[in-house]
Amino acid sequence: MPANRECTVFGTVLCAGLVAIGGGGLLACGRRSLGVALAVQAAGSVAVAVAGFAVLATGRGLGQGFGRGLTAGFALELRWGVDGLSGFFLGALGTVAVAALTFAHRYLPCTRSPRAVAALTALFLLVLAFVLCARDPFTFLLGWEAMSLVPAAVILVSRDADRPARRTVFTYLAITHLAGVATWVAVLLAARSGALDGSPPVTGSALQLVVASAALFGMGTKAGVMPLHVWLPRAHPMAPAPVSALMSGIMIKVALYGLVRVLIEWVGVLPAWFGMLVLAVGALSALGGVVYALFQHELKRLLALHSIENVGIILLGLGACLVLRARGDDGWAAVALGACLLHTLNHAVFKALLFLGAGAIERATGTLNLDRLGGLLRRMPWTGSCFAVAAMAIAGLPPLNGFASEWLTFRSLLRLPARGALADGVAGVLALAALAATAGLAVTCFVKVVGLVLLGPDRQRRPVQEAPVSMVAPMVALAAGCVVLGVVPGVLLRPLAALAPWTHPAAAEHLARYVPGGTGLPGGGPALALPGSGGLPAPGLTAVLVALTAALLLARGRRSAPPAPSWACGQQLGPELLWTSAGFTKPLRLVLEGVLRPRRRIAVRVHAGVVQEVRYTGSVPPLIDEHLYRPVARRSLAVAARVRRLQSGSLGTYVGYLIALVVGLVGLARSGVLR
């Protein structure tokens, strides 16, 4: 098929998918069946996924390229297009959206305002696609702001605007919009410098560093990096499960799309120290996210904190890419970018599965408190099995997709000590240690989750039914995706590494530094084949693990140990004597006590000299909230109260303010400060 015809077909499919999503949203507002509206949206999402991955696979873009969005007469020019990078994110968007919308068919009717949530979900998907297809600053920033507002509306509608929802939405909007100023600065300065037209700023110049730093701050806040993460564990658990899957699986990835676009494409080659800064932010986010997730007792909040952890892992890959590119190792820089993007897709798949599984569990049991759940693998075998697959994937266990992308990130970081200077080596070793510690703590965390929720004894002692087929089917599909992406990760690695702009000869003239013939892209095929190095034979590893598992099952036969009661010092074993979430994490809490500063409270009730009851409550406070955000918020409110006194209500006073402002501006202009 000719290239032009292929592009026409892909563009038609993409437009048809977006129209279908919008039409499904309109149907949800009318009197049509809610199931029909969601089915139309799901069909549109399939088209978006197909078109996005087709653009990635063929390397043929659609529409226009990036530009300033202004004509010679300073008239606004809206530009739209899709290239390989945005096509990859559109593919991820469509994949997660199909599963979430199919799941929502039976989930949303049990929530408040299901039609409003379905309509807003369609709008949310269109806004995300709007950002990915934008090719000028105005369109991009318009979609960026809408991307914050629509989820806030979903939370308020689904929670009937109760007090916790209003407070959560206020925190979410305040932080993301304040940090959004930095996103505006980054995009507008990049456009003014000509970076959007293919002329990046000079390496090491003040303009380059301002654009890159503003992007890291503004877009990093939207992605949930520490210490700019405080909105994320509040907002994601408040949304309905399908919307939580979209927020955690896709919305924060769109923020990472913007960050990759700026740091990799628009600003040229950044100094090595900036890559080390990205590594430091990634290490802090990965370790901080998993540590705080360990001490959570509510399942959706725990999953939200793990999003921060995985964003940190993605930033480790991005930081390795920046450092290696600064040192001229273009081939491994492309591999590191591929690792970053591969983990982005992997996290979208298994995190969406985890949130959908949490929604099914909440619908069946009425709670997400870890200490009140247990034995769900026996009573909800399909949901429990899919949730277990996602838990193993996020914990980085082979041969699932989380292991493949984390291993690739590990190999990219391992290249830093071998290639760069002493500072690069130290940064690489510290990043490797952070990644290894994160992987170990993630395993610990999900051993706790699986042990309490899926395997432990029944704590509720109430009938629990398996989720309907329309909820189970998308979870099975996502679980299969976790397996396939783990078995054949090499199929995606080469096209993802080829997205690096320095691998395209046509773009070489626009780069500040380019090493001819130094790309060294990884080889194709299902395994992870790396340039000048060994790879990961994922299919072979999978075959060995399957064979060993089958051999153990055959050796075991049908023998199984009979159930035996647990010993509880002679007491009758009840739910109050079973293992709790705090019991799993107590040793780690004692080790990190000096850092985390946990709080404990013991209440003893005594009657007639005999102890009747002992209550223990413990918590790990969010130190960043208490020592950074709360003091800042308190002082800001105090300053606002003082400034409010200027609102006297007197027209003469306001006229005086305006005159003083005009006089001050005229004085600055005459002195030459303003030109």
Tens of pLDDT, residue by residue over 417-432, are 876 678 888 888 899 9
User: Tens digits of per-residue pLDDT, 147-185?
Assistant: 989 988 888 888 776 778 788 888 888 888 888 889 999
Task: State the pLDDT at residue 327.
Answer: 86
3-state per-residue secondary structure call for 78-100: CCEEECHHHHHHHHHHHHHHHHH
The set of residues, in sequence order, having a beta carbon less than 8 Å from that of 36 and lying 6+ positions away, is: 27
Task: State the pLDDT at residue 316.
Answer: 95
DSSP letter at 456? S
The set of residues, in sequence order, having a beta carbon less than 8 Å from that of 328 and lying 6+ positions away, is: 513, 515, 518
Residue type, 119: A
Backbone angles phi, psi at 174, to 5 degrees: -60, -50
Residue type, 341: L
Residue type, 16: A
> Residue 434 — pLDDT band, cuts 50, 70, 90?
very high
What is the residue whose two structure tokens read 């499904």? 24
3-state per-residue secondary structure call for 168-221: HHHHHHHHHHHHHHHHHHHHHHHHHHCHHHCCCCCCCCHHHHHHHHHHHHHHHH
Tokens of 93: 């968007």
Q: Average pLDDT in the 506-512 region?
A: 39
Q: Is the pLDDT of residue 506 over 60?
A: no
Residue 487 or residue 618, greater confidence = 487
Task: State the pLDDT at residue 663.
Answer: 86
Q: Which sign does the torsion angle of CA 571, 572, 575, 581 carry?
A: positive
The gap from C-alpha 8 to its chain's centroid, in whole angstroms, comes to 32
Task: State the pLDDT at residue 523.
Answer: 65
Helix (H) or strand (E) holding 610: strand 610-619
Q: Is the pLDDT of residue 509 over 50?
A: no
Query: Which stretch of 270-279, 343-352, 513-522, 658-667 has the lowest confidence by average pLDDT?
Result: 513-522
User: Tens digits of per-residue pLDDT, 29-63?
Assistant: 877 788 889 999 999 999 999 999 999 988 888 87
Identify which of 185, 435, 469 has the alpha carbon closest to the alpha carbon of residue 310: 435
Q: Provide DSSP, 124-135.
A: HHHHHHHHHHB-
Instruction: Give the C-alpha separation, 375 to 462, whole Å.
Output: 11
User: Tens digits of per-residue pLDDT, 61-81?
Assistant: 887 877 776 554 445 677 888
Instruction: Give the C-alpha separation, 318 to 310, whole Å.
Output: 12
Task: State the pLDDT at residue 8.
Answer: 77
> Residue 584 — pLDDT band, cuts 50, 70, 90?
confident
Q: Count of alpha carbons within 13 Å of 324, Cβ hemisphere only?
A: 30
Instruction: Give the C-alpha separation, 341 to 313, whole Å.
Output: 11
In angstroms, the first-to-last Cα distance of the chain is 56
> Residue 524 — pLDDT band, cuts 50, 70, 90?
low
Residue type, 435: L
DSSP letter at 468? P
Identify which of 118, 91, 82 has the alpha carbon closest to the alpha carbon of residue 103: 118
634 class by beta-carbon count within 10 Å (0-12 exposed, 13-18 middle, 19+ buried): exposed
Residue type, 147: M
Q: Tell me what the pLDDT averaged over the chain comes to.
A: 84
3-state per-residue secondary structure call for 245-293: HHHHHHHHHHHHHHHHHHHHHHCCCCCHHHHHHHHHHHHHHHHHHHHHH
DSSP letter at 605? E
Tokens of 275: 């890559």
Tokens of 341: 């993007």
Identify which of 92, 15, 4 has the alpha carbon closest to the alpha carbon of residue 53: 92
The set of residues, in sequence order, having a beta carbon less than 8 Å from that of 610 and lying 6+ positions away, is: none
Instruction: Give the C-alpha separation, 667 to 675, whole Å.
Output: 12
The gap from C-alpha 375 to its chain's centroid, in whole angstroms, comes to 29
Task: State the pLDDT at residue 1.
Answer: 47
Quote the radius of gyration of the chain (alpha carbons, Å). 26
> Residue 564 — pLDDT band, cuts 50, 70, 90?
low
